[in-house]
Structure 1
Amino acid sequence: MKIVVLAGGLSTERAVSLVTGTSVCRALRENGHRAVLVDLFLGLKDAPENLETLFDAPDGLCADASIGVEAPDLEAVRSSREDSSDRLFGPNVLELCALSDMVFLGLHGQDGEDGRVQATFDLLGIRYTGSGYLASGLAMDKVMTKRMMDSAGIPTPKWKLLEYGPEDVERLARELPMPCVIKTATGGSSLGVFLPEDRTALRSALEQVLDYHGKVLWEERIYGRELTVGVLGERALPAVEILPAEKDFDYAAKYQAGGARELCPAPITPEQQAAMGDIALHLHHTLGLEVYSRTDFLMDADGHFWCLEVNSLPGMTSASLVPKEAAAVGMSYNALCEEIVQQSYRLKRRT
């Protein structure tokens, strides 16, 4: 197949996305596909007149990509585009995608998981991997996901949507129940998530989360083991337990060597694995997700599971969680990428 692997964009998870895209593109080329890596926002400035020749570009236009300790400087990325356009799609991106047999969405965060890219491709008749626009949007919005979990009877910590401005921070810092989590409703990779230990830290969290310019969620803090379960097709994969080296599992802990230990399969009972797998599948179906997803859990001291959120386009770097879960059932990274492509190709979407 001719496959465009779409990555990058202007999301706070841009760096993670570029590593995902590079890994996926190289795997698909090893599988025999004519795959090429394209940055959603920067696009292809000096593209050849015949765009189709790009599918045979050396190494699929892949460059070295890495994830830094800090989130990327998006304003610097924005200013680096010569056309100074506010369009999400960079030069020649849509044109090349239209020539492909499939677009592998290696995007993370708002630029790929909120459904806008999927809706655009549906309107243009372009095939793509993973879930459709509506399910993607629901899963990206933590408030909508919480509402769906509540209606479906899926156990999740108590929560509340906060609507406030800077003038309300002092009052909320006094009144909100503790312990709690403060998070932006559309973040990812632990960006925009705060775990205040006291009311001074809560005040700071309420101030900082406003910088993410979106809805803010208050959530009851549950203490317990951090676990995650991937879904591939109609089956749940083995759970992973995440053991951060530091107290909090933040952006740096997720992606820097030594930031966390990951145990896969997680040291839990078969009954616990089955219960979490059933919940992950239930949420996957409730939101209308397709092909693959990953659901994050906490297990408290009494063995109760609490569902936190679901990722419609989970990380696909070679060190990411879903590839590790697939490896635990004997599926190589290349085979996982191929399975996602083939399942997505068989989907019947409205075009």
Structure 2
Amino acid sequence: MSNASKFGKVAVLLGGKSAEREVSLDSGKAVLEALLRSGVNAEGFDPQERSVTELVAYDRAFIVLHGRGGEDGQIQGTLEWLNVPYTGTGVQGSAIGMDKVKTKQIWQGSELPTAPYRIVSQDTDLKEVISALGLPLIIKPVHEGSSVGMSKVERVEDLAGAITKAIQHDAVVMAEQWITGREFTISFLNGQPLPVIRLQPPADVAFYDYEAKYNRNDVEYGIPCGLTEAEEQKLKALCLRAFQAVGASGWGRIDAMQDQQGNFWLLEVNTVPGMTSHSLVPKAANAVGYSFDELCVAILEQTLAGDTQ
């Protein structure tokens, strides 16, 4: 790339200290290699091993830190303070997007469809939760990604154990109504939706969990997604509203379900999606002609637009 010098010195932020550290190292390595192949003066930067104050020596940052510390507004705030432009969503949108409950509250306030939920703890009246949400349901740590600590609960007697498991990852835990149907993911580039992907985990997987996301090779990724043209456009428009409602910008991803009655339900937003060989944003971008290297450069180019955070 002849004009790669316009980016100056780029820090690819990877690793970090969250539960998703290993995935972030894989994503960051892939992004770093893509930028180097494109002629960008890029270096890997792991905040667990170096002081973030050293970032002042860089012209911009490509954030590939997944989970807490990297996706929740903390590193974004640090980069704002250091006046270093960065990829993706700003401080507020990152903080909201990392909090599943806050995301749901904003979507509900915007009259966007998202599954009913309850915040739960080991002291919660579990009978009331089951009465409100039914079975099966899903237990989620509120501030984790990559399905860390999540469990599908089909029996009353398994609920307390699922809550205990989730609390090991986060002090705040939610129970969410289980939606039976087809799962889709909608990626964004330059703030606009890419082709919808249908996720079809193998039959022995209860849901698209950590194992399916990163370690299985038998998950089916449907592009085209199997929706009618009208349904796909409806889902894209819905997810664009949802993406903008939480203050997300640039690139990212929203996961959604279609129930057996054909209704769409928003699950969650991901403001720093994975960039590994299994990841979904590269698959969606490839469907409209972007190579992985071109995708990484396109994301980095968002930092050139001035103060857009």
Q: Normalised by the size of structure 2, how large is the TM-score? A: 0.92
Cα displacement (A) at 1:349: 4.7
Of the candidates 117, 120, 144, which is equivalent to residue 187 of structure 1?
144
The answer on 1:113 being equivalent to 2:71 is yes
Paired position in structure 2 for 1:176: 129
**Cα contact 1:10–1:41 (8 A) shared by 2:** yes
Paired position in structure 2 for 1:277: 236
Q: Aligned partners of 2:274 and 2:73: how far apart in 1? A: 17
Cα displacement (A) at 1:237: 0.5
Unaligned segments of structure 1, at least 5 residues: 44-90
Cα displacement (A) at 1:195: 0.7
Cα displacement (A) at 1:261: 1.7
Q: For residues 140-289 of structure 1, what are the structure 2 equivalents within 5 Å? A: 140-162=98-120, 164=121, 166=122, 168=123, 171-172=125-126, 174-177=127-130, 178-179=134-135, 180-245=137-202, 246-248=204-206, 249-289=208-248
Q: Aligned partners of 2:308 and 2:83: how far apart in 1? A: 9
Paired position in structure 2 for 1:313: 272
**Cα contact 2:205–2:212 (8 A) shared by 1:** no
Paired position in structure 2 for 1:2: 9
Q: Aligned partners of 2:213 and 2:226: how far apart in 1? A: 20
Q: Aligned partners of 2:68 and 2:283: how far apart in 1? A: 24
Of the candidates 23, 29, 47, which is equivalent to residue 22 of structure 1?
29
Cα displacement (A) at 1:161: 2.0
**Cα contact 1:315–1:321 (8 A) shared by 2:** yes
Cα displacement (A) at 1:347: 4.1
**Cα contact 1:122–1:349 (8 A) shared by 2:** no
**1:128-186, CA deviations, whole angstroms, 9 ceiling, x for partnerless residues?**
11111110000100010000000111111111222x3x4x26x42x3322211111111
Cα displacement (A) at 1:346: 0.8
Cα displacement (A) at 1:319: 2.8
Paired position in structure 2 for 1:70: none
**1:212-233, CA deviations, whole angstroms, 9 ceiling, x for partnerless residues?**
2321112111111111001112
Paired position in structure 2 for 1:300: 259
Q: For residues 322-337 of structure 1, what are the structure 2 equivalents within 5 Å? A: 322-337=281-296
Q: Aligned partners of 2:205 and 2:28: how far apart in 1? A: 30
**Cα contact 2:144–2:170 (8 A) shared by 1:** no
**1:266-325, CA deviations, whole angstroms, 9 ceiling, x for partnerless residues?**
121111111111111101111111111100001111211100000011111233100000
**Cα contact 1:318–1:333 (8 A) shared by 2:** no
Cα displacement (A) at 1:252: 1.1
Q: Aligned partners of 1:145 and 1:219: how far apart in 2? A: 13
Cα displacement (A) at 1:201: 1.5
Q: Normalised by the size of structure 1, how large is the TM-score? A: 0.81
Identity %: 36
Cα displacement (A) at 1:204: 1.1
Larger radius of gyration: 1
Q: Which amino acid aligns with 2:261?
A: D
Q: Aligned partners of 2:278 and 2:163: how far apart in 1? A: 32
Unaligned segments of structure 2, at least 5 residues: 1-7
The answer on 1:13 being equivalent to 2:27 is no
Q: For residues 65-84 of structure 1, what are the structure 2 equivalents within 5 Å? A: none
> Residue 70 of structure 2 aligns to a residue in which SS?
helix
Over aligned residues, Cα RMSD in angstroms? 1.5
Paired position in structure 1 for 2:3: none
Q: Aligned partners of 1:5 and 1:188: how far apart in 2? A: 20
> Residue 195 of structure 1 aligns to a residue in which SS?
strand
The change in CA–CA distance for 1:259 and 1:110 in structure 2 (over 3 A counts) is farther
